[in-house]
Homo-oligomer: A and B are copies of this chain.
Amino acid sequence: MNFEVPVAVTEIAAIIGAALEGNSSLMATGINEIHKVRAGDISFVDFEKYYDKALNSAATIIIINKKVACPEGKALLVTDDPFSAYVSLVKRYRPFEPAAKPISDSAVIGEGTVVQPNVFIGNHVRIGNNCIIHPNVTIYDHCVIGNNVIIHAGTVIGADAFYFKKRKERAVMYDKLESCGRVLIEDDVEIGAGCTIDKGVSGDTIIGQGTKLDNMIHIGHGTVIGRNCLFAAQVGIGGKALIEDNVILWGQVGVSKDLVIGKDAIVYAQSGVPASLEGGKTYFGSPAEESRAKMKEINWIKRIPEMWEKLTNK
Protein backbone atom coordinates (compact mmCIF):
# COMPACT_ATOMS: atom_id res chain seq x y z
CA MET A 1 0.00 0.00 0.00
CA ASN A 2 1.30 3.41 -0.96
CA PHE A 3 0.61 6.60 0.92
CA GLU A 4 -1.18 9.33 -1.02
CA VAL A 5 1.68 11.67 -0.08
CA PRO A 6 5.00 10.66 1.49
CA VAL A 7 5.23 10.90 5.28
CA ALA A 8 8.37 11.93 7.22
CA VAL A 9 9.94 9.09 9.21
CA THR A 10 10.07 11.42 12.21
CA GLU A 11 6.30 11.72 12.03
CA ILE A 12 5.93 7.93 11.83
CA ALA A 13 8.24 7.57 14.85
CA ALA A 14 6.11 10.01 16.83
CA ILE A 15 2.85 8.28 15.87
CA ILE A 16 3.98 4.86 17.05
CA GLY A 17 6.14 6.16 19.93
CA ALA A 18 9.32 4.51 18.62
CA ALA A 19 12.96 5.48 19.03
CA LEU A 20 14.36 6.51 15.64
CA GLU A 21 17.77 5.17 14.59
CA GLY A 22 19.62 5.91 11.36
CA ASN A 23 18.60 8.39 8.69
CA SER A 24 16.05 10.74 10.26
CA SER A 25 15.39 12.73 7.08
CA LEU A 26 13.77 9.87 5.17
CA MET A 27 10.26 10.07 3.73
CA ALA A 28 8.10 6.92 3.84
CA THR A 29 6.13 6.31 0.64
CA GLY A 30 4.14 3.27 1.70
CA ILE A 31 3.69 0.40 4.11
CA ASN A 32 4.09 -3.26 3.30
CA GLU A 33 4.53 -6.64 4.90
CA ILE A 34 8.05 -7.99 4.43
CA HIS A 35 7.13 -10.24 1.47
CA LYS A 36 6.05 -7.29 -0.62
CA VAL A 37 8.34 -4.41 0.30
CA ARG A 38 9.70 -1.86 -2.15
CA ALA A 39 12.08 1.05 -1.64
CA GLY A 40 10.45 3.77 0.44
CA ASP A 41 8.29 1.29 2.36
CA ILE A 42 7.87 0.88 6.06
CA SER A 43 7.86 -2.74 7.19
CA PHE A 44 8.19 -4.54 10.54
CA VAL A 45 10.01 -7.47 12.11
CA ASP A 46 9.59 -8.93 15.59
CA PHE A 47 11.57 -12.19 15.56
CA GLU A 48 15.37 -12.12 15.77
CA LYS A 49 15.64 -14.91 13.26
CA TYR A 50 14.04 -12.67 10.62
CA TYR A 51 16.09 -9.55 11.44
CA ASP A 52 18.60 -10.13 8.63
CA LYS A 53 15.89 -10.68 6.07
CA ALA A 54 14.11 -7.50 7.11
CA LEU A 55 17.24 -5.34 7.36
CA ASN A 56 18.43 -6.50 3.95
CA SER A 57 15.02 -6.20 2.28
CA ALA A 58 14.01 -3.35 0.00
CA ALA A 59 12.20 -1.68 2.92
CA THR A 60 13.67 1.69 3.82
CA ILE A 61 12.17 1.95 7.28
CA ILE A 62 11.95 -1.03 9.60
CA ILE A 63 9.96 -1.23 12.81
CA ILE A 64 11.91 -3.57 15.06
CA ASN A 65 11.79 -4.70 18.69
CA LYS A 66 15.50 -4.36 19.49
CA LYS A 67 18.15 -1.75 18.79
CA VAL A 68 20.55 -3.14 16.16
CA ALA A 69 23.04 -1.61 13.73
CA CYS A 70 21.07 0.38 11.16
CA PRO A 71 21.94 -0.36 7.52
CA GLU A 72 23.29 2.60 5.50
CA GLY A 73 20.55 4.90 4.20
CA LYS A 74 17.77 3.28 6.18
CA ALA A 75 15.97 4.06 9.40
CA LEU A 76 14.97 1.81 12.29
CA LEU A 77 11.98 2.46 14.52
CA VAL A 78 12.61 0.63 17.78
CA THR A 79 9.55 -0.28 19.83
CA ASP A 80 8.44 -3.17 22.05
CA ASP A 81 5.63 -4.38 19.81
CA PRO A 82 6.37 -3.84 16.10
CA PHE A 83 3.27 -5.83 15.07
CA SER A 84 0.89 -3.49 16.90
CA ALA A 85 2.83 -0.45 15.67
CA TYR A 86 2.49 -1.65 12.07
CA VAL A 87 -1.23 -2.33 12.52
CA SER A 88 -1.76 1.13 13.98
CA LEU A 89 -0.15 2.65 10.87
CA VAL A 90 -2.40 0.59 8.59
CA LYS A 91 -5.44 1.75 10.52
CA ARG A 92 -4.30 5.37 10.35
CA TYR A 93 -3.38 5.50 6.67
CA ARG A 94 -6.00 3.11 5.33
CA PRO A 95 -8.81 3.41 7.84
CA PHE A 96 -12.00 1.43 7.45
CA GLU A 97 -14.49 3.83 5.90
CA PRO A 98 -18.09 2.85 6.65
CA ALA A 99 -20.26 3.08 3.55
CA ALA A 100 -22.77 5.87 3.20
CA LYS A 101 -24.65 4.00 0.46
CA PRO A 102 -24.59 0.66 -1.41
CA ILE A 103 -22.57 2.08 -4.30
CA SER A 104 -19.98 4.58 -3.15
CA ASP A 105 -19.79 7.97 -4.82
CA SER A 106 -16.04 7.52 -4.99
CA ALA A 107 -16.38 4.35 -7.09
CA VAL A 108 -15.69 4.67 -10.82
CA ILE A 109 -17.75 2.43 -13.08
CA GLY A 110 -16.96 2.15 -16.79
CA GLU A 111 -19.17 2.51 -19.83
CA GLY A 112 -21.39 -0.36 -20.77
CA THR A 113 -21.01 -1.99 -17.37
CA VAL A 114 -24.23 -3.36 -15.87
CA VAL A 115 -24.54 -3.37 -12.08
CA GLN A 116 -27.52 -5.48 -11.03
CA PRO A 117 -29.62 -4.75 -7.91
CA ASN A 118 -28.41 -5.37 -4.35
CA VAL A 119 -24.74 -5.06 -5.27
CA PHE A 120 -22.35 -3.35 -2.86
CA ILE A 121 -19.48 -1.35 -4.35
CA GLY A 122 -17.16 0.18 -1.78
CA ASN A 123 -15.12 3.36 -1.66
CA HIS A 124 -12.45 4.01 -4.32
CA VAL A 125 -13.41 0.90 -6.30
CA ARG A 126 -12.69 1.03 -10.04
CA ILE A 127 -14.61 -1.11 -12.53
CA GLY A 128 -13.85 -1.11 -16.27
CA ASN A 129 -16.11 -1.22 -19.30
CA ASN A 130 -18.65 -3.81 -20.42
CA CYS A 131 -18.71 -5.75 -17.17
CA ILE A 132 -21.71 -7.49 -15.61
CA ILE A 133 -21.88 -7.45 -11.83
CA HIS A 134 -24.71 -9.77 -10.83
CA PRO A 135 -26.98 -9.31 -7.79
CA ASN A 136 -25.80 -9.46 -4.18
CA VAL A 137 -22.11 -9.17 -5.11
CA THR A 138 -19.90 -7.33 -2.61
CA ILE A 139 -16.82 -5.42 -3.74
CA TYR A 140 -14.81 -4.02 -0.82
CA ASP A 141 -13.04 -0.66 -0.87
CA HIS A 142 -10.08 -0.04 -3.22
CA CYS A 143 -10.57 -3.14 -5.44
CA VAL A 144 -9.89 -2.75 -9.16
CA ILE A 145 -11.75 -4.64 -11.88
CA GLY A 146 -10.86 -4.59 -15.58
CA ASN A 147 -12.95 -4.68 -18.75
CA ASN A 148 -15.34 -7.41 -19.89
CA VAL A 149 -15.41 -8.98 -16.45
CA ILE A 150 -18.42 -11.00 -15.29
CA ILE A 151 -18.97 -11.55 -11.57
CA HIS A 152 -21.84 -13.83 -10.61
CA ALA A 153 -24.26 -13.39 -7.74
CA GLY A 154 -23.21 -13.52 -4.12
CA THR A 155 -19.48 -13.33 -4.78
CA VAL A 156 -17.31 -11.31 -2.37
CA ILE A 157 -14.27 -9.46 -3.67
CA GLY A 158 -11.77 -7.99 -1.24
CA ALA A 159 -12.66 -9.28 2.23
CA ASP A 160 -9.85 -9.08 4.81
CA ALA A 161 -6.87 -11.42 4.79
CA PHE A 162 -7.11 -14.27 7.30
CA TYR A 163 -3.91 -13.41 9.11
CA PHE A 164 -3.45 -13.33 12.88
CA LYS A 165 -0.61 -13.13 15.35
CA LYS A 166 -0.73 -15.55 18.26
CA ARG A 167 -0.34 -13.98 21.71
CA LYS A 168 0.07 -16.92 24.05
CA GLU A 169 -0.08 -14.72 27.11
CA ARG A 170 -3.48 -13.23 26.36
CA ALA A 171 -6.96 -14.58 26.98
CA VAL A 172 -8.01 -13.39 23.53
CA MET A 173 -5.19 -15.05 21.73
CA TYR A 174 -5.21 -13.77 18.16
CA ASP A 175 -4.31 -10.26 17.09
CA LYS A 176 -5.50 -9.29 13.65
CA LEU A 177 -3.04 -8.11 11.01
CA GLU A 178 -5.17 -5.43 9.43
CA SER A 179 -4.96 -5.71 5.67
CA CYS A 180 -4.48 -2.73 3.38
CA GLY A 181 -4.03 -4.54 0.06
CA ARG A 182 -6.44 -4.86 -2.82
CA VAL A 183 -7.88 -7.32 -5.30
CA LEU A 184 -7.05 -6.70 -8.97
CA ILE A 185 -9.14 -8.52 -11.53
CA GLU A 186 -7.80 -8.26 -15.04
CA ASP A 187 -9.77 -8.06 -18.31
CA ASP A 188 -11.94 -10.90 -19.60
CA VAL A 189 -12.15 -12.73 -16.26
CA GLU A 190 -15.35 -14.53 -15.27
CA ILE A 191 -15.99 -15.34 -11.62
CA GLY A 192 -18.80 -17.69 -10.64
CA ALA A 193 -21.43 -17.37 -7.93
CA GLY A 194 -20.59 -17.48 -4.24
CA CYS A 195 -16.82 -17.03 -4.59
CA THR A 196 -14.62 -15.21 -2.07
CA ILE A 197 -11.42 -13.48 -3.16
CA ASP A 198 -9.56 -11.87 -0.26
CA LYS A 199 -7.49 -8.71 -0.53
CA GLY A 200 -3.74 -8.85 0.02
CA VAL A 201 -2.32 -8.07 3.46
CA SER A 202 -0.47 -5.12 1.95
CA GLY A 203 -0.10 -5.96 -1.75
CA ASP A 204 -2.57 -7.20 -4.35
CA THR A 205 -4.43 -10.42 -4.93
CA ILE A 206 -4.49 -10.76 -8.72
CA ILE A 207 -6.70 -12.75 -11.09
CA GLY A 208 -4.99 -12.77 -14.49
CA GLN A 209 -6.53 -11.95 -17.83
CA GLY A 210 -8.93 -14.47 -19.31
CA THR A 211 -9.04 -16.69 -16.22
CA LYS A 212 -12.39 -18.34 -15.50
CA LEU A 213 -13.55 -19.38 -12.04
CA ASP A 214 -16.56 -21.59 -11.40
CA ASN A 215 -18.75 -21.23 -8.28
CA MET A 216 -17.75 -21.20 -4.58
CA ILE A 217 -14.03 -20.76 -5.12
CA HIS A 218 -11.92 -19.29 -2.35
CA ILE A 219 -8.74 -17.36 -3.18
CA GLY A 220 -6.58 -16.34 -0.22
CA HIS A 221 -4.85 -13.00 0.40
CA GLY A 222 -2.08 -11.95 -1.93
CA THR A 223 -2.39 -14.97 -4.20
CA VAL A 224 -1.49 -14.25 -7.82
CA ILE A 225 -3.22 -16.20 -10.58
CA GLY A 226 -1.97 -16.09 -14.14
CA ARG A 227 -3.77 -15.85 -17.46
CA ASN A 228 -6.29 -18.30 -18.87
CA CYS A 229 -6.54 -20.49 -15.82
CA LEU A 230 -9.65 -22.61 -15.34
CA PHE A 231 -10.78 -23.55 -11.80
CA ALA A 232 -13.80 -25.77 -11.23
CA ALA A 233 -16.25 -25.35 -8.36
CA GLN A 234 -15.26 -25.35 -4.68
CA VAL A 235 -11.54 -24.99 -5.26
CA GLY A 236 -9.72 -23.30 -2.38
CA ILE A 237 -6.31 -21.61 -2.56
CA GLY A 238 -4.42 -20.30 0.46
CA GLY A 239 -2.62 -17.00 0.77
CA LYS A 240 0.39 -15.81 -1.27
CA ALA A 241 0.30 -18.69 -3.74
CA LEU A 242 1.45 -18.16 -7.32
CA ILE A 243 -0.59 -20.01 -9.93
CA GLU A 244 0.98 -19.59 -13.35
CA ASP A 245 -0.77 -19.30 -16.74
CA ASN A 246 -3.15 -21.95 -18.10
CA VAL A 247 -3.32 -23.97 -14.89
CA ILE A 248 -6.43 -26.14 -14.61
CA LEU A 249 -7.73 -27.12 -11.17
CA TRP A 250 -10.70 -29.48 -11.05
CA GLY A 251 -13.45 -29.42 -8.43
CA GLN A 252 -12.74 -29.19 -4.70
CA VAL A 253 -8.96 -29.04 -5.15
CA GLY A 254 -7.24 -27.48 -2.14
CA VAL A 255 -3.99 -25.56 -2.55
CA SER A 256 -1.83 -24.54 0.39
CA LYS A 257 -0.29 -21.10 0.85
CA ASP A 258 3.15 -19.79 -0.17
CA LEU A 259 3.76 -22.09 -3.14
CA VAL A 260 3.95 -22.11 -6.93
CA ILE A 261 1.93 -24.18 -9.41
CA GLY A 262 3.77 -24.06 -12.72
CA LYS A 263 2.36 -23.15 -16.11
CA ASP A 264 0.01 -25.63 -17.79
CA ALA A 265 -0.25 -27.88 -14.74
CA ILE A 266 -3.50 -29.83 -14.33
CA VAL A 267 -4.69 -30.98 -10.91
CA TYR A 268 -7.54 -33.50 -10.74
CA ALA A 269 -10.59 -33.16 -8.51
CA GLN A 270 -10.30 -33.23 -4.71
CA SER A 271 -6.51 -33.24 -4.79
CA GLY A 272 -4.62 -31.46 -2.04
CA VAL A 273 -1.52 -29.48 -2.99
CA PRO A 274 0.77 -28.97 0.03
CA ALA A 275 3.86 -27.74 -1.86
CA SER A 276 4.94 -26.35 -5.22
CA LEU A 277 4.17 -28.31 -8.40
CA GLU A 278 6.18 -28.23 -11.61
CA GLY A 279 4.34 -26.96 -14.66
CA GLY A 280 3.23 -29.05 -17.64
CA LYS A 281 2.24 -32.10 -15.62
CA THR A 282 -0.94 -33.68 -14.31
CA TYR A 283 -1.47 -34.37 -10.62
CA PHE A 284 -3.83 -36.29 -8.35
CA GLY A 285 -4.26 -37.18 -4.71
CA SER A 286 -4.05 -35.66 -1.26
CA PRO A 287 -1.17 -34.99 -0.99
CA ALA A 288 -1.00 -34.54 -4.77
CA GLU A 289 1.48 -36.55 -6.85
CA GLU A 290 1.90 -37.02 -10.58
CA SER A 291 -1.37 -38.59 -11.58
CA ARG A 292 0.09 -41.58 -13.40
CA ALA A 293 2.22 -42.56 -10.41
CA LYS A 294 -0.76 -42.05 -8.13
CA MET A 295 -2.99 -44.26 -10.29
CA LYS A 296 -0.34 -46.99 -10.19
CA GLU A 297 -0.18 -46.68 -6.43
CA ILE A 298 -3.96 -47.05 -6.18
CA ASN A 299 -3.63 -50.28 -8.18
CA TRP A 300 -0.78 -51.56 -6.03
CA ILE A 301 -2.93 -51.08 -2.93
CA LYS A 302 -5.54 -53.38 -4.47
CA ARG A 303 -2.90 -56.11 -4.69
CA ILE A 304 -2.08 -56.21 -0.97
CA PRO A 305 -4.45 -59.16 -0.29
CA GLU A 306 -2.81 -61.10 -3.14
CA MET A 307 0.61 -60.38 -1.63
CA TRP A 308 -0.59 -61.49 1.76
CA GLU A 309 -1.75 -64.77 0.29
CA LYS A 310 1.54 -65.31 -1.54
CA LEU A 311 3.34 -64.57 1.70
CA THR A 312 1.33 -66.86 3.96
CA ASN A 313 0.73 -69.75 1.56
CA LYS A 314 4.36 -70.47 0.96
Contact = CB atoms under 8 A, between A and B. Distances in A.
A211 to B, nearest CB: 9
Contacts of A134: 138, 140, 159
B153 A153 contact: no
A50 interface: no
Contact of A234 (B140, B254, B308): B254
A123 to B, nearest CB: 11
A128 interface: no
**Copies of the polypeptide in the assembly:** 3
A202 to B, nearest CB: 19
Given A154-B196, A196-B154, A218-B216, A232 B162 contact: yes
B297 A269 contact: no
B270 A272 contact: yes
A258 to B, nearest CB: 13
Given A138-B154, A194-B196, A236-B252, A99 B120 contact: no
A212 B174 contact: yes
A251 interface: yes
Nearest to A246: B173
Interface stretch (A14-22, A32-40, A62-70, A110-118): A110-118
A214 interface: yes
Interface string A289-300: 000000001101
A160 B153 contact: no
8 contacts: A118-B138, A140-B153, A162-B233, A232-B238, A270-B286, A303-B304, A307-B308, A310-B312
A44 to B, nearest CB: 21
B218 A234 contact: yes
A252 B251 CA distance: 11
Given A156-B153, A190-B176, A236 B254 contact: no
A263 interface: no
* Majority secondary structure, A binding face: loop
B138 A135 contact: yes
Nearest to A305: B300
B120 A120 contact: no
A113 to B, nearest CB: 10
A164 interface: yes
A4 to B, nearest CB: 23
A102 interface: yes
A269 B246 contact: no
A272 B252 CA distance: 9
A212 B161 CA distance: 12
Nearest to A220: B233
A74 interface: no
A188 B171 CA distance: 11
Contacts of A236: 216, 233-234, 251-252
A256 B238 contact: no
A193 B311 contact: no
